[in-house]
Amino acid sequence: MHDFRFKKGKLYCEDVSIEALAEKVGTPLYVYSHNTLRRHFLAYQKAFAKVPHLIAFAMKANANLAILRLFAKEGGGIDIVSEGELHRALAAGVDPKKMVFAGVGKTRKEMQAALRAGILMFNVESAQELTALDEVAKSLGTKAPVALRVNPDINPKTHPYISTGLKKSKFGIEITRAVEQYQLASRLSNIEVVGIHSHIGSQLTQIKPFVDALKRIGKLIEELRGRGMEIKYWDIGGGLGITYDAEKPPLPKELAAAILPLLKESGCTIILEPGRSLVGNAGALITRVIYTKEGETKNFVIVDAGMNDLIRPSLYEAYHEIVPVVKKKRRNATVDVVGPICESGDFLAQERTLPQVAPEELLAVLSAGAYSFSMASNYNARPRSAEVLVHGDKYATIRERESMDDLIRGERIPEFLDFGQS
């Protein structure tokens, strides 16, 4: 459920006209609904209220400071995967004791920064990482709180690029090796074993893979405790999907109904890492039509947003609903909606049936709150777009549009390339 709705034939985010926003702020433009973001977060809080828990937003989905602050104000934490994300989360005012650090390639420098910040725990993904973390913690005279990310070898039935729970995945430690890795962790003098972690993938539309994975992890928790290890935190990951097209993913309350008995039995504090399901349907990318172009075999709508703004359709062949911002009576046409990037793979939709549009009209690319701006780039030397957060009938620009000077900030031409020098 989201707050992008038509009123008298014009698209609004909450009580703010998208057409008016585009005129004031320009396009391409990302627009987010405060009400939708907060409602989605509170849906998780309510669903898991019967167990001690922490909702740690997977900020790789959308790392804007305002959105991080919004979730922190509601009591949320953050799932980080880099020192940069740690820095952003701290800048947004997130309590470090509500941060978990995941990822297969943490550097020693990143480990130092996280230990100095005092994060809740590291989700460790390999024996070498465990040893490195022990050495870094020793150098700082402290202990590193650790959960091992265990790969339960469950098929999440999602896109292969966002499937993380199979044996062939780069993520986690195989469940068959988990006990020996936990034994290694317990022998390291500067490691404190505090939990266990698993995450099988993203855009999950079925509950069964989640349940199957947690059953396997639950048995492992029992075995680890039987060997004298204290497991206080059970990080069950995230991954619930959203509706882009015809999907019907489970709601947080439906997931909770299926897994709460398992979680209660563990006696652990539960950590959840939702990302897409919090922010995905809370955002839209607004783009303006530049040209329309008719070909012998294809018709094109050329817009000012490209794959540098929203790469998901090009990268994953992902579907995003696209609608004209102003409804009119008009014929439909089958078109490719493409951007200005010099790549054949630059498209927002292919073979899509849409109402016929003309240059200067606005289109809204819906369900663009997750893995959209956070994956944006400056490819083709294009400034990244502005971001706006709408709250009722007001809005705030939460990221300024990049300028041409921003595109060359930090770059230097060395003296030996001065004209007249060879």
Enzyme catalytic residues: 342
Residue 312 marked in a binding site: yes
Q: Do 56 and 68 contact (CB within 8 A), yes or no? A: no
Residue 343 marked in a binding site: yes
Closest C-alpha to 62, from 416, 409, 410, 367: 367
Which token pair is 178? 């988990």
Closest C-alpha to 285, from 25, 1, 9: 25
Tell the burial category of 334 from Cβ atoms under 10 Å away from its Cβ (0-12, 13-18, 19+): exposed
- Give the separation between CA 346 and CA 361, rounded to whole angstroms: 20
Q: Do 144 and 134 contact (CB within 8 A), yes or no? A: yes
- Give the separation between CA 318 and CA 306, rounded to whole angstroms: 14
Backbone angles phi, psi at 107, to 5 degrees: -85, 165
Which token pair is 269? 């504090």
Q: Do 186 and 142 contact (CB within 8 A), yes or no? A: no
Residue 274 marked in a binding site: yes
Residue 141 marked in a binding site: no
Closest C-alpha to 165, from 112, 135, 113, 204: 204
- AA letter at 117: A
Residue 291 marked in a binding site: no
Tell me if residue 205 falls in helix, strand or coil. Answer: coil
Residue 319 marked in a binding site: no
> Whose structure tokens read 């809740």?
120
- Give the separation between CA 96 and CA 83, rounded to whole angstroms: 13
Q: Do 286 and 31 contact (CB within 8 A), yes or no? A: yes
- Computed from CA positions of residues 351, 355, 356, 359, in that sequence, does the dihedral angle turn out positive or negative? negative
- Element (H or E) spanning 128, and its range? helix 127-139
Residue 273 marked in a binding site: yes
DSSP of 29-77, one letter per residue?
EEEEEHHHHHHHHHHHHHHTTTS-EEEEEEGGG---HHHHHHHHHTT-E
Residues 6+ apart with CB under 8 A from 179: 220, 223, 224, 227
- Give the separation between CA 262 and CA 255, rounded to whole angstroms: 12
Which token pair is 252? 């947080």
Residue 172's region, left for phi above 0, alpha for psi from -120 to 50, else beta, is left
Annotated binding-site ranges for substrate: 276, 312, 316, 343, 371
Annotated binding-site ranges: 239, 273-276, 312, 316, 343, 371
Annotated binding-site ranges for pyridoxal 5'-phosphate: 239, 273-276, 371
